[in-house]
Amino acid sequence: MQRYYFDHNATTPVSREALEAMLPAFTEIYGNASSIHHFGQAARHLLDEARKQVADALGASAEEIVFTSGGTESDNLALLGGAAGGHLVTTAIEHPAVLQTAGRLAGWSCVPVGPSGVVDPDDVRKALKSDTALISVMHANNELGTIQPLAEIVKLGVPVHADGVQALGKIPVNVRELGVAMYSISGHKVGAPKGIGALYVRKGTKLKARQFGGRHERERRAGTENVAGAVALARAMQTHVDTEALRDRLEHAVLRDIPDAHVNAAGSPRIPNTTNIRFDGIDSDALLIALDLRGFAVSSGAACSSGAPEPSHVLLAIGLTREQARSSIRFSLGRGNTADQVDALVGALAESVTHLRKLSPAYV
Amino acid sequence: MSKPIAVAMSGGVDSSVVAGLLHSRGEAVIGLTMQLWNQRRLPELQSDKATGRCCSLDDVYDARGVAQLLGIPYYVLNFEDRFEQQVVKPFVSEYLAGRTPIPCTLCNNFIKFDQFLDMAEGVGAEQIATGHYAQIRHNAESGRWEMLRGVDHSKDQTYFLFGLTQDQLSRTLFPLGGMQKSAVRELAAQLGIPTASKPDSQEICFVPNGDYAGFIAAYSKEQGIAPPDATGEFVTPDGEVLGEHEGVHRFTVGQRRGLGIAAGEPLYVISTEPATQRVTIGRNDELLRTGMRVADINWISIAEPSEPIRAEVKIRNRHNAAPATITGKEVVFDEPQRALTPGQAAVFYRGELVLGGGWIE
């Protein structure tokens, strides 16, 4: 069966360029970047170059980049290391890597988000307390694709951490222009492998280490450096994938061909690869499986530990009913997608939705 | 290629063998596991020793492992909302109302052969298959789908399947109905299924260690329902008070253990009365009854009879079906039967054939 991948917000294939760039770091330049000898120095050189490239791509300087194992670790480090002892303000549509970590801080407030899927900076302001040490707001939401008003939130005068995992590679990211204190990125969302990410930490930002051992990463993150991963991340960040035309083609065709379909948070600024569509009367789990059996990979919210899908906390947070949340599907496009694939997807969607609605007591 | 068959995979031996068997016959098989209840949900019930649970992560891993071994598509379905509404809530309220419910039947009627069947059809399967020990056949003469007991009588599950409609039966396969459990285990080993020696599940899947009262107390607390009234009286059939107990929901008709009443002869629960919190206890022979009413009868292998019919009637899963005459909703046994328990099912048999069944009022 021909299979098509429309779940790039979950993960992406490693790009050819990133793979080729990283291969020497496995077998030739394999030294420990902290070693004194030639082997170590060669690895250190690769790592330093990668750090510089990542910094350049983000508009930062090299010493402001802390390599981590990925987005979750970056978020954990930013919150636990950057808001320790103080109060955190965050939003209801954050990734679990932020929300679950926030619950382990001394105090935190969660700002609600309306149907637009975009947090109101004024609501963030109202949630601030005298001891608020950090605001954490994602740059782009992983499920809706909505872009959050970071520039305005930064003006509130409290250090801001942004989870930029879904923004990177899809919209321009310049941390200096954004004015954030910390910014999380993840390699595997942009064509680098799983297991590499980074946290931008603006010079002067207080950050306590959260894992301990050797004095790696300027004593901010202990552990032997993942040189190959860093090289791949740096290389992958050179590439920008533009899928806006394909995403729009998908949305227009779905809205044209399938009745009672609605784009969630349609009117808001969104990253150009993501659309989240609600099909009235459909159980999104059934639709996801039906599409997968026809060769199309999409997403219906986060999976719990057993792998059973749960209604998306993001869709519930923006005011969708449980039923509406459970009838929504996320499509996220990427490099390998073509117009033909999009057209085939729309055809399969139309058939599956029609079939499922025939069986649905909720849809008449 | 034929339409795929959706197999309900629990991670246990039986459903694993069903998937393996159909796959080895060249059928297109989709493995689906129903996530029904979050076992970590009620804090009072957390213990390392809990056994007999379903839907644990281990079960899902086992089912996924079997699917990977067979190379079939596999998905986990989240049916927790529906399971709570259709099975857990009625289970709790029935107990509190002094009846002894059978959640497995509710689960079959409202989850496995309803929502699951819908899901299977939705994703493109025309039939479902489960690991139940029961047989289905089509009777060309009557035009009806008939149900028969599993060949392995010690594993026969027809007592829990009396609610299946003709439409459900027409789309369901029970590939193990004609097999002995020992043969199923052997087949599991032959197919290389890693769960071949996994113990059979016991008890009610969402109640750890069979502690109904503990589950009801924990669930009521979570739901903010006032906990069941903690005390009531034990009385004799003549109304003499024999002592106190901690709530009627702890007792079921026919129960002997846990009464804490000293007497010269064994005493049993004869009946429970939630309104007054009275539990009537008495001698074994006082449990004997000849007649009962059965509600919501579903007829399977025969159409609803207009005349009285003879059948063997089973009033508990472990009960030996006893001869009786069924007239409408009235069932009259030839010989008195012990402990007719409201809330349990009465299932009607003619030899191996399952005629139908309903709920004891």
Written as six digits, the tokens of A136 are 């954490």
DSSP letter string over B143-185?
Answer: TEEEEEE-SSTTT--GGG-TT--HHHHHTEE-TTTTS-HHHHH
Task: Quote the distance between the C-alpha of residue A98 and its chain's center.
Answer: 11
- C-beta atoms of B76 and A292 within 8 A: no
**Using a CB-CB distance cutoff of 8 angstroms, which residues of chain A are in contact with residue B121?**
359
Which pLDDT does position B230 carry in this prediction? 66
Which residue in A72, A65, A128, A124 sits closest to A101, CA to CA? Answer: A72
CA distances from B293 to A73, B99, B162, B254 (A): 63, 15, 16, 18
- Give the angle B351-B352-B357 at the CA atoms, nearest 5°: 90
Task: Provide the chain B residues 114-153 that lie in CB contact (below 8 A) with chain A.
Answer: 118-119, 121-124
Distance between start and end Cα atoms, chain B: 48
Residues A150 and A91: beta-carbon distance below 8 Å: no
The C-alpha of B24 sits at a distance from chain A's nearest C-alpha, in angstroms, of 20
Q: Where in chain A is the domain with CATH 3.40.640.10?
A: 16-236
Q: Give me the DSSP letters along B207-255.
A: SGGG-HHHHHHHHHHHHTPPPPP--EEEE-TT--EEEEES-GGG--TT-
Q: Is A308's CB within 8 Å of B35's CB? A: yes
Q: In this structure, is the dihedral angle defined by the CA atoms of residues B40, B44, B49 and B54, taken in order, positive or negative?
A: negative
| pLDDT over threshold 80, residue B10 | yes
CA A278 to chain centre: 21
With H, G, I as helix, E, B as strand and everything else as coil, classify residue A260.
coil
Contact yes or no for A301/A310 (Cβ under 8 A):
yes
| pLDDT per position as a tens digit, B151-197 | 999 999 999 999 999 999 999 999 999 999 999 999 999 988 887 77
Q: Domain spanning A16-236: which CATH class is it, in words?
A: alpha beta
Q: Which of A291, A292, A306 should one mutate to test binding to chain B, selecting the residue with the greatest count of B CBs within 10 A?
A: A306
Tell me the domains of chain B and their CATH numbers. 5-131+175-210 (3.40.50.620), 229-282 (2.30.30.280), 289-360 (2.40.30.10)
Residues ≥6 apart with Cβ < 8 Å to A50: A227, A230, A231, A233, A234
Reported ipTM = 0.87
Q: Under an 8 A CB cutoff, do A308 and B119 touch?
A: no
Task: Kindly report the number of other CB atoms within 10 A of residue B92's CB atom.
Answer: 22
A308 CB neighbours in chain B (<8 A) are: 33, 35, 60, 76-78, 80
For A237-258, the pLDDT digits (tens) are 998 889 999 999 999 999 999 9
- B57/A359 Cβ within 8 A: no
Q: What's the pLDDT score for residue A214?
A: 92
DSSP string, A34-82: T-SSHHHHHHHHHHHHHHHHHHHHHT--GGGEEEESSHHHHHHHHHHHH
| Secondary structure letter of residue B110 according to DSSP | I
- Predicted TM-score (pTM) of this structure: 0.89
pLDDT single digits (tens) A307-323: 667 789 999 999 999 99
**How far off is chain B from A249, nearest CA to CA, in Å?**
26
- State chain A's mean pLDDT as an integer: 95
A255: helix, coil or strand? helix
pLDDT in tens, A2-52: 999 999 999 999 999 999 999 999 999 999 999 999 999 999 999 999 999
- Nearest CA to B75 out of B111, B126, B120 is that of B120
CATH topology assigned to domain A241-359: Aspartate Aminotransferase, domain 1 (3.90.1150)
Is B104 considered catalytic here?
no
Query: Quick check: A228 and A26 in contact, CB under 8 A?
Result: yes
Q: Are A113 and A94 in contact (CB under 8 A)?
A: no
Q: How far apart (Å, rounded) are the C-alpha atoms in residues B167 and B85?
A: 23
Pairing mode of beta strands B29-35, B74-78: parallel
Chain B residues close to A303, C-beta within 8 Å: 76
Q: Give me the sign of the Cα torsion angle A202, A207, A211, A217.
A: positive
| Token pair 């048999």 in the structure block, residue | B349
> Burial level of A149, CB count in 10 A (0-12/13-18/19+)?
middle
Across A217-221, A251-255, B202-206, B280-284, least confident range: B202-206
B295 touches chain A (CB under 8 A): no
Closest CA to B300 of B178, B107, B162, B168: B162
How far is A189 from A70, CA to CA, in rounded Å?
Answer: 10
Between the CA of residue A141 and those of A165, A193, B205, B216, what are the distances in Å? 9, 21, 38, 40
Q: Which residues of chain B does A312 touch, with a Cβ-Cβ cutoff of 8 Å?
A: none
What is the percent of chain A with per-residue pLDDT over 90, rounded to a whole number?
92
